[in-house]
Chain A
Amino acid sequence: GEDVEQSLFLSVREGDSSVINCTYTDSSSTYLYWYKQEPGAGLQLLTYIFSNMDMKQDQRLTVLLNKKDKHLSLRIADTQTGDSAIYFCAERDNAGKSTFGDGTTLTVKP
């Protein structure tokens, strides 16, 4: 089956930029997503990018997509303590099925 990989942990200092990376195997991906999960809660969509785009910016968030290398990244500028959470990368194939990575736990130190 399709696979989505991401590093499990990232720790940054408040005010620094955070970059969370993800790789995927499905060459038929249509959309790629970043979801955020706060402790004990469900996932919330942060942002998404269509597979024919290479960059999307939304306030403090920048998504970069390298379709050739099947690499997706999420950059959070000026990271705040409220950004501490688990971030999931996900891809959607052309059959409409979404596959999630295992999540990256972001810890922001004051």
Chain B
Amino acid sequence: SQTIHQWPATLVQPVGSPLSLECTVEGTSNPNLYWYRQAAGRGLQLLFYSVGIGQISSEVPQNLSASRPQDRQFILSSKKLLLSDSGFYLCAWESQKGGPGELFFGEGSRLTVL
């Protein structure tokens, strides 16, 4: 069966510090991968998606970046965090093999920037 792991689960970082959130998927190959941010009391904002190794599409301009060094690994990074980067970050995968296209989400990483 397929699983998705995200870490760390919680993170408290000072303004201006770097960030690295990791996401790995097991039990499937060549998934589409997504990073979403969920601000408090709000819905999901799509940040990045990837259809393959090294292929990253950015949905919103920001000081975050994403990389996909391996087929089932997706990393969200920042060189210098801002207060506004605080939020709940969710990684998700989707099969490229057709079907209803549902997203499978990780458990999330809660980032607090102080």
Which of chain B's residues has its CB closest to A102's CB?
B43
**Interface residue tally for chain A (C-beta within 8 Å):** 23
The docked-state distance in angstroms from the alpha carbon of A43 to that of B107 is 8
Q: Which residues does chain A contribute within 8 Å of B110, judged by CB atoms?
A: 40
**Interface residue tally for chain B (C-beta within 8 Å):** 19
Take A31-B101, A92-B101, A96-B101 as given contacts and tell me if A42 and B90 are in contact as well, using a CB distance cutoff of 8 Å.
yes
Which of chain B's residues has its CB closest to A105's CB?
B41
Q: Which residues does chain A contribute within 8 Å of B103, judged by CB atoms?
A: 35, 43, 45, 98
The docked-state distance in angstroms from the alpha carbon of A33 to that of B99 is 13
Kindly identify, within residues 66 to 107 of chain B, every residue whose CB is under 8 Å from any CB belonging to chain A. Answer: 90, 92, 100-107
B102–A88 CB distance below 8 A: no
